[in-house]
Structure formats: C-alpha cells, structure tokens
Amino acid sequence: MNNQLEKAERFRALHARRDAFILPNPWDRGSARLLAQAGFEALATTSAGYAFSLGLRDNAVGRERMLAHVAELASATELPLSVDLENGFGHDPETVAETIRLTASAGAVGGSIEDATGDPAHPLYDLDRAVMRIRAAAEAARALPFPFTLTARAENFLVGKPDLDDVIARLRAYQEAGADVLYAPGLQSHEQIDAVLRALDRPLNVLASAAFDRATLAHMGVRRISVGGALTRAAYGALLRAAREMRERGTFEFAKDAVSHRDIEAMLG
C-alpha cells in the first residue's frame, strides 16, 4: 500500500503542474513496459485497445476480466496507472462505487467514469442520475487510504450529441459532485476547449488529435492529454498495412520499418 500511496501522490501532483503531461494508453503488459521505457510519467488503460487485443468490440469486456487486466498493467511498471472504467460496469451508483473500490484493490491510482448508457435510444444518463453516479464514485474514492484521482467524462461528442452547452453543464455538475479531473472526449477545436476550460476550476483532460499539440494545449491551461485507443489502432494499422502488402503484392518491405528484435529485448530488460 505504501507503494500505491506514493504512486497516487505522484499522479495527483502531475495534475498540479502548469505544464500539460501526456498520459499514453497501453493495451497490454508489453506496451506498458515500452511506454515506461520511453520516459512517460504515468499510464492509462484503454477499454477499446484492450478489447481489440482480445478480438472484441469496445465495451464488450466485463468487469472481472477488465480488473485482471488492470492488475497486470499496474504491476508491469512503477508508473501510476489510471483506468478507463467505461460507465462503471453498471447503471446504479452503488455498482459504480464498488467498481472504484475494486479498481483500487487491483493496484490503480485513478480511474474515469463516463455518462454513456450503452443504449442507442437513450445514449446519455439523465443529468441527475449521472451526477448521483459520479458522487457515489467520489465518495468511494475519498474513503480509500490514498488519493485516488477520479475523472468524470461527458460523452456527448462520442454518442452523437455534440451540444457544447450540455457538455459544460455536465462537467460543472460532475465537478460539484466531487470529480478531480474532467474530460469530454471528442472536443473538436481550440475554441471548444477554451470554453470548457473557462467554465471549470478542476484539471481538464483532452483527447489527443492531429489538430492539437501539447505546447498549445498547455498554454491554454489543459493539464492532461491522453490518446485513448490511438496507439493500439496505430499498431494495428501497421499490421494491416503489412498484411495487405504480403497478401496483395507478396513482398515484405514493411519489415524495414519494424523495430529490431534486439532493441525490443533491450527495452524490456
């Protein structure tokens, strides 16, 4: 627990710095160790990346299997680990609270809860219920013997409800409910990010995209930048390009860009 306390304090301190930090998202133990070797200061899981690695669609991994994955990544490096907990693996607040407690027991020091229901006909929880869920998660986090960093997510842009006013209203309500970090994946412009930042007094996580860079986001006041499933998709993109080359052309030029066996072994120790 002392090691987890130290990791938790380190992770919390990253959000207090004026400079934004990048929080990359490994999808397995090997990618976690390689990212640690690359010099990052903390890691976060990706529900999509892990699901893809199992041959599943996103949100198809149950809580028990996800917690085993969390324990594996938490023990893979000495870096603090935050967890993509989807909607908390249940609709009711107590299930969300129990998910926070189990996540901490698995070795993580932070986690995010989203307000997407998984129901296409009603993709977002009503605000009152969404707030109850974040409040339950925050109460569970505060009861832990270390500072668990709770991130609350407004999923509007990912579920086809790109109403910025509603995003801001939701994030402000989650802030009041006890979230430590706020996150609206899919914000599409610097203007949208600035509007969200001006409405909040807690650290904001931004999902990386080709339209953004760390220096500009940091200057705006963003404190954390994550990449979601992008690293997994980049790796799978390289695999699929290699597969097409082999299948369609019968050549193996892709191997020229592959990291060497020796280099990976050196990084993995």
The pair of structure tokens assigned to 90 is 């249940």
The set of long-range contacts for 248-255, using a CB threshold of 8 Å and a minimum separation of 24, is none
Strand order in the sheet with 43-44: 21-23, 224-226, 204-207, 181-183, 149-153, 110-114, 81-84, 43-44
Q: Write the pLDDT tens digit of every residue in 64-81.
A: 999 999 999 999 999 999
**Helix and strand totals (H; E) in the chain:** 11, 8
Residue holding tokens 């990010």?
Answer: 193
**81, 44 in Cβ contact below 8 A?**
yes
Pair of tokens at residue 185: 């994946």
Tell me the sheet residues that pair with 224. Answer: 21, 205
Q: What is the pLDDT along the chain (269 residues), one digit of tens a residue?
A: 689 999 999 999 999 999 999 999 999 999 999 999 999 999 999 999 999 999 999 999 999 999 999 999 999 999 999 999 999 999 999 999 999 999 999 999 999 999 999 999 999 999 999 999 999 999 999 999 999 999 999 999 999 999 999 999 999 999 999 999 999 999 999 999 999 999 999 999 999 999 999 999 999 999 999 999 999 999 999 999 999 999 999 999 999 999 999 999 999 98
pLDDT for residue 1 = 60
**Residue ranges of the domains in the chain?**
2-232
**Encoding tokens for residue 66?**
């996800």
- Closest alpha carbon to 96 in 42, 52, 150: 150
Give the CATH superfamily of 2-232: Phosphoenolpyruvate-binding domains (3.20.20.60)
Report the predicted TM-score, pTM, of the whole model to 2 decimal places: 0.97
Residues 159/14, Cβ–Cβ less than 8 Å: no
At residue 269, the pLDDT reads: 86
What does the mean pLDDT of the chain come to? 98
Cα distances from 240 to residues 58, 245, 250, in angstroms, run: 19, 9, 14
